[in-house]
């Protein structure tokens, strides 16, 4: 039978029974046709859990006859027939120690040593070896050494992808094959826009694992190209792409837009780990996507009982970090409370602390669980596990304690002992924009005439640092900043640069929102000076006029 007709008929069959019946009717077939039949059987009979009908396949006479010929006539096979058969039999979970696999591997090794294999053959063999023996296989090194001698520019997308995959598992740093990687990166850049979703994902993952931070043009090209593939990525592929965006620090608005369309539509069928990675991406990039967050909240309410404790935290923490309450907030946090009641002891200490801390950022108070958090036993558990009680962890504990002190006066449980409290909070997301502060200080000097009337970056006894503080007496006159007597009002200017907001948004991050809320409760008059209100003010006078209206709205304008 003509090969083309054979494969057309073969690919139309959907069960091993149909395939064996068809093969019985073919009088003569080439080794490539026979290997193709094994590959088709592996496609229809193997799923994630393995071979669906082992006895029906492995005991079939036609199957056994094919295996017999491949085992005892391996030296007569074409390269394609040999390597396709090996690949198919590995997928069919044939015992790696069997004489059949040993015979095919021995023949493959001999041809590899004699340099009889094409680039495509090398890739096919490499794929089989990765599946069979993993990175420890000595033949993989031979394959890569041979590939170094080939002309990379002529490789197909599949061949490039396969070599990236082999290098990824063989040499984590890629140092040994630095020159080959550079050539591959340049060649891949020229065909980046032709890559399938699968190849795009594999190559991005390899670039991450091999720490290819110098391959910026390729990373950017692949990230841009991945936008059109978002609806077609499998869960694992999407996770690889998101990890690449995070690792290389790249941001692509069109990618976020594509996620915003795809995730709400597909979230019911997405694996929880994939959704966790989407939330991690949004959280680290400070992207507040309400469509994604609202969809995640709904899925959490309905499906959270089947999530791991880590996934529960990964779903919830971004809501606090980005300071967002979805429309279903009451149901969302009621569900979270139920889970905490039933699974509290299953959470790792640091995971639990992150989760509860994120809740207070958005005014959801885990009062019922705080006695356990502040208990000596829990604090010992925190200390025993990395990163222990470092400054970031003690900042979270202190902010939890301050929150219940200020916002939950009815709380009567254990307190956080002073030895676990920090002197000043760490605010990694919300550092001060020094350039913006300088411009505001120049405007204040123009307004108040003397530098003694305000002070910047003031440490308070309440763990927070105030960007700028101004003191007023009972009649509303500005006092020297160093004066402590007759202070009737304290004004805290919060100079909020872009880094204190979600990306492309006027939504404050949770860290800054809780700080401003607590400063108010501690008696400060909080005056927010956000970047988007002052960026257009080009002169000191205009800045001073703006600050006058903000700080002293009920007094006359500048007399200058």
List, as own/partner pairs, every contact residues 180-187 make where C-beta atoms lie below 8 angstroms and the sequence separation is at least 24, other chains included.
180/144, 180/147, 180/148, 180/152, 181/210, 181/212, 183/152, 184/152, 184/160, 185/212, 185/215, 185/218, 186/152, 187/152, 187/153, 187/155, 187/160
pLDDT at 556 over 70: no
d(C-alpha 256, C-alpha 263), whole Å: 10
**Model pLDDT, residue 206:** 95
Contact present, 470 and 454 (Cβ < 8 Å): yes
Q: What is the pLDDT of residues 236-282, one digit of tens each?
A: 999 999 999 999 999 899 999 999 999 999 999 999 999 999 999 99
Average pLDDT estimate for 467-474 = 95
Cα separation of 75 and 111, whole Å? 10
Examine the pLDDT at 336 and tell me if it is beyond 80: yes
Question: Would you tell me the crossing angle of helices 510-521 and 349-361 to the nearest 10 degrees?
Answer: 60
Q: Is the pLDDT of residue 394 over 60?
A: yes
As a whole number, mean pLDDT of residues 494-506 equals 96
Phi, psi for residue 202 in degrees, rounded to 5 = -65, -45
Q: What is the pTM of this model?
A: 0.87
What was the pLDDT predicted at 205?
96
Q: How far apart are alpha carbons 472 and 467 in whole angstroms? A: 17
Give the mean model confidence (pLDDT) for residues 9-20.
92
Give me the chain's average pLDDT, please: 93
Confidence tier at 174 by pLDDT (50, 70, 90):
very low
387 prior amide bond cis, ω within 30 = yes
Answer for the pair 236, 265: CB distance below 8 angstroms, yes or no.
Answer: no
The answer to whether the beta carbons of residues 294 and 282 sit under 8 Å apart is no
pLDDT reported for residue 135: 60
What ranges do the domains of the chain cover? 1-116, 291-422, 434-552
Reduced to 3 states, what is the DSSP secondary structure of residue 502? coil
Say yes or no to pLDDT of 413 above 70.
Answer: yes
- Across residues 199-227, what is the average pLDDT? 95
């Amino acid at each position: 039978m003509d090969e083309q007709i054979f494969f057309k008929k073969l690919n139309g069959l959907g069960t091993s029974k149909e395939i064996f019946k068809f093969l019985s009717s073919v009088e003569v077939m080439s080794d490539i046709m026979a290997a193709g039949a094994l590959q088709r059987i592996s496609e229809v009979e193997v799923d994630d859990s393995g071979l669906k009908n082992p006895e029906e396949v492995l005991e079939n006479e036609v199957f056994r006859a094919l295996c017999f010929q491949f085992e005892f006539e391996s030296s007569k096979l074409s390269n394609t027939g040999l390597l396709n058969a090996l690949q198919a039999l590995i997928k069919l979970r044939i015992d790696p120690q069997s004489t059949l696999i040993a015979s095919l591997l021995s023949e493959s090794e001999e041809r590899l040593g004699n340099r009889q294999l094409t680039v495509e053959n090398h890739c096919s063999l490499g794929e089989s070896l990765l599946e069979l023996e993993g990175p420890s296989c000595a033949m993989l090194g031979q394959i890569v050494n041979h590939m170094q001698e080939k002309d990379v520019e002529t490789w197909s997308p599949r061949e490039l992808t396969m070599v990236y995959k082999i290098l990824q598992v063989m040499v984590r740093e890629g140092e040994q094959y630095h020159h080959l990687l550079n050539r591959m990166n340049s060649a891949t850049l020229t065909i980046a826009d032709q890559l399938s979703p699968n190849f795009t994902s594999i190559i991005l993952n390899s670039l991450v694992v091999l720490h290819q931070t110098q391959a910026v043009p390729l990373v950017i090209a692949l990230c841009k190209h991945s936008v059109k593939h978002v609806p077609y990525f499998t869960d694992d592929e999407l996770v690889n792409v998101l990890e690449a965006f995070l690792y290389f620090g790249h941001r692509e608005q069109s990618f976020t837009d594509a996620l915003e369309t795809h995730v709400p539509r597909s979230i019911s069928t997405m694996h929880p780990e994939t959704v966790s990675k989407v939330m991690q991406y949004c959280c680290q990039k400070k992207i507040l996507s309400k469509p994604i967050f609202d969809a995640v909240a709904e899925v959490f309410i309905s499906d959270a009982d089947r999530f791991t404790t880590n996934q529960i935290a990964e779903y919830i923490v971004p809501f606090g970090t980005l300071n967002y309450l979805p429309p279903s907030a009451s149901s969302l946090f009621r569900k979270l409370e139920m889970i905490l009641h039933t699974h509290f002891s299953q959470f790792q200490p640091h995971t639990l602390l992150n989760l509860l801390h994120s809740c207070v950022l958005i005014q959801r108070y885990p009062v019922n669980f705080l006695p356990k958090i502040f208990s000596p036993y829990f604090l010992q558990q925190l200390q025993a596990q990395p990163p222990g009680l470092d400054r970031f962890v003690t900042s979270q504990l202190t902010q939890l304690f301050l929150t219940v002190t200020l916002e939950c006066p009815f709380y009567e449980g254990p307190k956080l002992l002073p030895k676990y409290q920090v002197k000043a909070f760490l605010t990694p997301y919300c550092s001060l924009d020094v350039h913006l502060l300088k411009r505001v200080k120049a405007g204040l000097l123009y307004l108040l005439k003397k530098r003694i009337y305000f002070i910047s970056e003031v440490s308070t006894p309440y763990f927070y640092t105030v960007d700028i503080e101004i003191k007023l007496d009972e009649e509303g006159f500005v006092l020297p900043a160093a004066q402590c007597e007759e202070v009737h009002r304290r004004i805290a200017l919060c100079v909020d640069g872009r880094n204190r907001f979600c990306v492309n948004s006027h939504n404050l991050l949770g860290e800054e929102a809780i700080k401003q809320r607590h400063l108010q409760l501690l008696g400060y008059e909080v005056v927010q000076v956000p970047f988007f209100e002052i960026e257009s003010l080009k002169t000191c006078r205009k800045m001073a006029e703006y600050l006058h209206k903000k700080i002293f709205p009920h007094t006359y304008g500048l007399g200058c």
